[in-house]
């Protein structure tokens, strides 16, 4: 099986793997999925991810949501996004990107490309397919907004409830976030829907090695929870957990192409709250302090 054959017959991938007709090398796949590097007969490589054996049942439409998001982001022809070569019920196979070190020049270029991606826009907040963030459902029911109300209802409240139900947050913590939800329209910054990655923490930028498509060190966007959202959300989450390398240069490149609205830096903790609440909903109290810190910082502005 070579790459051209697989593109023409993606459904044959499972049979070839079952009969060990493709060389597989395990690679890191993140906290949810298993991952392997597939080496085809023509020397081409693919990144394949699947649902782990023995894990709880895979959520319906889990890989379909990721494939839809990758294709939608890629269709903007702005930032580098891996091609989906084969979409199956039990996994995905996509373009392999050889990893390499990040550089300030690559980060600045990614900032410009991310601005172009966001500017491609979306018809509404949400998306035309059901979404996932991690293994949790992501309500993508299309909405015309306004953005603050949509963000509070679809991106904050559901994960706050889950975090309260699993006792990751105390009653006082929940009340703190509820204050933000109640007054969310006062923080400003509302904009029309942008085409966003939706889960753009630093680990979801893959830096390419020299000689890879697009040039040395170019940043690729992977593992999206793509939808129509607010462009500031992607930039805010890039600053989480130590921040993406050369964040200052990335932001400088972004501002060259599409300057951000006034006061955007003060809104960073608001946009970070979504992903932080996803983490308390998924992983429990280990992320409680981060939620409280973001909420407190926002309320002190």
User: How does pLDDT run across 39-85, given as a tens digit for each residue?
Assistant: 998 999 999 999 998 888 999 999 999 999 999 999 999 999 999 99
- CATH 3.30.450.270 correct for 3-95: no
Residue 215 has a pLDDT of 52
Residue 126 has a pLDDT of 98
Q: Is 42 a catalytic residue?
A: no
Q: Give CATH 3.90.1200.10 domain extents, the chain.
A: 104-299
Q: Give CATH 3.30.200.20 domain extents, the chain.
A: 3-95
Largest CA distance in the chain: 60
For 45-57, the pLDDT digits (tens) are 999 999 998 888 9
Q: Which of 199, 223, 234, 248 is catalytic?
A: 199
Q: What is the pTM (predicted TM-score) of this model?
A: 0.94
Q: How confident is the model at residue 133 (pLDDT cuts 50, 70, 90)?
A: very high
Neighbours of 206 (CB within 10 A): 20
Q: Could you tell me if 284 and 168 are in contact, meaning their C-beta atoms sit under 8 angstroms apart?
A: yes
The yes-or-no verdict on residue 214 having pLDDT over 60 is no
* Averaged pLDDT score across all residues of the chain: 94
The yes-or-no verdict on residue 15 having pLDDT over 70 is yes
CATH architecture of 104-299: Alpha-Beta Complex (3.90)
Report, as an integer, the average pLDDT of 280-293: 98
The yes-or-no verdict on residue 245 having pLDDT over 90 is yes
Report, as an integer, the average pLDDT of 98-102: 91
């Amino acid at each position: 099986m070579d790459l051209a054959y697989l593109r023409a017959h993606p459904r044959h991938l499972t049979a070839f793997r079952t009969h060990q007709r493709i060389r597989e090398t395990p690679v890191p796949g993140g906290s949810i999925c298993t991952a392997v590097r597939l080496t085809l007969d023509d020397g081409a490589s693919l990144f394949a991810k699947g649902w782990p054996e023995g894990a709880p049942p895979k959520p319906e439409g889990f890989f379909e949501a990721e494939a839809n998001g990758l294709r939608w982001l890629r269709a903007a022809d702005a930032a580098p996004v891996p091609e989906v070569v084969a979409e199956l019920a039990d996994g995905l196979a996509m373009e392999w990107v050889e990893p390499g070190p990040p550089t300030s020049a690559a980060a600045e270029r990614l900032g410009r490309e991310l601005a172009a991606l966001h500017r491609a826009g979306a018809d509404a907040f949400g998306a035309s397919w059901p979404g996932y963030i991690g293994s949790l459902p992501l309500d993508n029911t299309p909405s015309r907004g306004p953005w603050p109300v949509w963000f509070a209802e679809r991106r904050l409240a559901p994960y706050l409830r889950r975090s309260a139900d699993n006792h990751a947050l105390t009653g006082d913590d929940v009340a703190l976030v509820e204050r933000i939800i109640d007054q969310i329209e006062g923080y400003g910054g509302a904009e029309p829907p942008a085409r966003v990655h939706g889960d753009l923490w630093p680990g979801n930028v893959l830096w390419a090695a020299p000689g890879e498509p697009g040039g040395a060190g170019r940043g690729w966007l992977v593992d999206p929870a793509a939808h129509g959202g607010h462009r500031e959300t992607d930039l805010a989450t890039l600053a989480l957990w130590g921040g993406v390398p050369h964040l200052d240069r990335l932001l400088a490149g972004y501002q060259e192409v599409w300057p951000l609205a006034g006061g955007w830096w003060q809104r960073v903790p608001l946009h970070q709250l979504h992903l932080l609440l996803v983490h308390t909903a998924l992983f429990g109290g280990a992320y409680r302090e981060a939620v409280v810190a973001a909420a407190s910082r926002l309320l002190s502005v």
